[in-house]
Amino acid sequence: MVMEFIQAVVLAVVQGVTEFLPISSSGHLILAPAIMGWKDQGVLTDVVTHVGSLLAVVIYFWRDMMGMTRGSLDILKGRTTYNSQLLINVIVGTIPIIIVGFILKLSGLSDSMRLAELVAINAIIFGLLLYFADRYGLMLRGIREMNWVSALIIGAAQCLSLSPGTSRSGITMTAARALGFTRPEAARFSFLLSVPANAAAAILVIGESYREGHALSGIMVLTGVLTFFVALATIHFLMQMLRTMSFLPFVIYRVILGVVLLGLIYSGVPLGTVN
């Protein structure tokens, strides 16, 4: 029981921090049990931690959430407002990952992608891509200047995060920076875009688990609650940081992480497959 509690705390910290920093939460959730010598916690626990992260976004960006609620009413009334456009952009940006995620789930490829080597390679490649987008991307646009085409491009980029080690927040911020959005606005839209994506994944996986006779355990719920508080603090930290700093520290971390992991794997350390 003590070991389960320790694992819950570690996973909550890992998820709460890495979901919003552009360093890949799914990658770290795969690596954590492998490095610590624990049995993999499974997709259901991963999803519960994502629910905790989702609630943190809803609370932190409650003004945007309320605004999109009003935007839905504006759409029904046939009015075009900032709130209605924001809601449409989030919906449009979510469509690609729902389609691709559904296809991966049906094909069974999602489970076969839980590889430490893939995490390492993606950490390096998409870390460097984040650097170039942030280094050379203009900083002229905010969410108010976003149209459905930009939202669709960012949403299409989000599909790449289904491959562990890519980072959902990292790839969406990379796409937004490449399109000329400022760092805080790129992060803000990335977080808002995570709400429907994480909600859809949670409904799908939890519903499937219940149909198969697997129920949520108390330790899973505890992990989700702890994740919520860690994620809330992480969002605040990143939003403040991006007002004055670039993404370079995260790029450096990703490259070092990828290189170290590849070194361990090719040295014979058993991190190649995480089950």
pLDDT confidence bin for 1, thresholds 50/70/90: low
pLDDT tens string 183-237: 999 999 999 999 998 888 777 777 777 777 666 777 888 888 998 999 999 999 9
Residue 181: phi and psi, rounded to 5, are -80, 145
* Three-state secondary structure call for residue 191: helix
Rounded Cα distance between 185 and 165, Å, is 23
Separation of alpha carbons 84 and 91, rounded Å? 11
State how far the Cα of 203 lies from the Cα of 220, in Å rounded to an integer: 15
Domain limits, the chain: 2-266
In tens, the pLDDT along 139-170 reads: 999 999 999 999 999 999 999 998 888 999 99
Name the H helices within 19-165.
25-36, 42-60, 62-76, 82-107, 109-112, 116-136, 148-158
Least confident segment among 19-28, 30-39, 145-154: 30-39
State yes or no: pLDDT of 272 exceeds 50: no
142 vs 252: CA distance, rounded Å: 26
Least confident of 83-87, 111-115, 259-263: 111-115
Query: Nearest CA to 169 among 149, 152, 192?
Result: 192
pLDDT of residue 117: 84
Q: Are 14 and 28 in contact (CB under 8 A)?
A: yes
In this prediction, residue 5 has a pLDDT band, given cuts at 50, 70 and 90, of confident
Question: 19: exposed, middle or buried (C-beta count within 10 Å: 0-12, 13-18, 19+)?
Answer: buried
Identify the CA nearest to 31 among candidates 228, 270, 266. Answer: 270
Span 87-144, pLDDT tens digits: 999 999 999 998 998 888 787 666 556 677 888 899 999 999 999 999 999 999 999 9
Percent of the chain clearing pLDDT 70 (strictly above): 86
Does the structure show a pLDDT above 50 at 274?
no
Inter-CA distances, 128 with 20, 53, 193, 201, 253, Å: 18, 26, 23, 28, 11
Can you give the pLDDT at residue 133?
97
CA distance 266 to 49: 31
pLDDT of residue 6: 81
Residue 114 has a pLDDT of 61
